[in-house]
Amino acid sequence: MSWVLIANPAAGGGRGRRLGEAAQTALRQAGVACNLRLTEAPGHATQLARQAVAEGCERLVVCGGDGTIRDVLPALAHTAIPLGLLPFGTANDLARALGVPRKLDQAVQLLLRGRPSAIDLGRAGEALFATVAAFGFDAQVSEAMRQGQVPLSGTAGYLYATLGHLFRFQAPQVRLEGEFGVFEGQVLLVATANTRSYGGGMQIAPAADPRDGKLEVCIVRQVPRRTIVGVLPRLFWGGHVHHPAVQVRRTSWLRLHTEIPHLLHADGEPLAHTPVLIETLPAAIQVVCAPGA
């Protein structure tokens, strides 16, 4: 078999190169012809993935996090080439949804023995995403983390940035249209979810399933800051969905309109600006998943 392994050297706190090399060695010892390619800049994985597809690789493996995975989606979507995951990034929410272990030896064994399964992708405008498209407060928090304004990473960094942004966030007025009808009002956030979690395991949409052809839309209306502090811990197990300020809707498409452009984030990276049409692409990519995930 001919595989291409794309590794982000910055993933895992700078361990990406070492982990990528270790994975390549393990795969070669198992009889897989594996070519390791390291990303050199943001977005470089897209170029490497397109090159691998053009060369006829049989499987493309990403050693990194959700951001690196998102970069390879344009090359793999609607092809028969399976995506394999070695989840060593900051959040790893796609791997979490698909039951991919974070230990290197276990993840390599899943690559060797697991079977590809079709999952949905999301699309916002022309941009693809795999996990959750975030708008509003959480998009601002994610952007602060991406720009290095937060001294911590992962869930701890998200919580740190959340507290730092509480007193300067201005809730935008939005109009949402989908199969559920219309919603208008000021919101804290709108999370359009293909998978259950983002931010390293926060269960923003506990019922989201990347195989059902639908998106779970979590709408949190504007609430007092003290309420945000009280609701935030519930994200870790999905308990926030029972709060009266929260509603969750299912749809295959969502039109998100604001009077002035606002940024959306997904998979740890900027995705698009409002107004935007977000839609699901059913069974758009093959991914090696854990059995029963």
Nearest residue to 131 (alpha-carbon basis) of 287, 11, 266, 237: 266
Query: Can you say whether residue 69 is alpha, beta or left, with left for phi > 0 and alpha for psi between -120 and 50 degrees?
Result: alpha
Cβ-contact 36, 7 below 8 angstroms: yes
Q: Give the three-class secondary structure for 218.
A: strand
DSSP character string of 58-79: SEEEEEE-HHHHHHHHHHHTTS
Distance in angstroms (rounded) separating the CA atoms of residues 155 and 61 = 25
Distance in angstroms (rounded) separating the CA atoms of residues 137 and 122 = 20
Active-site annotation holder among 21, 177, 259, 269: 269
Q: How many CB atoms lie within 10 A of CB 169?
A: 17
Reported residue count of the chain is 293
CA 24 to chain centre: 24
Catalytic residue at 259?
no
Distance in angstroms (rounded) separating the CA atoms of residues 86 and 64 = 6
- Point out the residues that are catalytic: 269
